Amino acid sequence: MMMMFVYRGGSVVAKSLESS
């Protein structure tokens, strides 16, 4: 479950951090 979250949310988190 965690792997899937990181795999799919990884790019989303990276974009969120850059947007900040």
Q: What is the pLDDT of residues 1-20, one digit of tens each?
A: 556 666 666 788 778 778 87
* pLDDT given for residue 1 in this prediction: 53
> Which position has the token pair 């899937």?
4
pTM of the model: 0.20
* Separation of alpha carbons 12 and 18, rounded Å: 10
* Separation of alpha carbons 5 and 2, rounded Å: 5
* Separation of alpha carbons 20 and 3, rounded Å: 24
* Separation of alpha carbons 16 and 12, rounded Å: 6
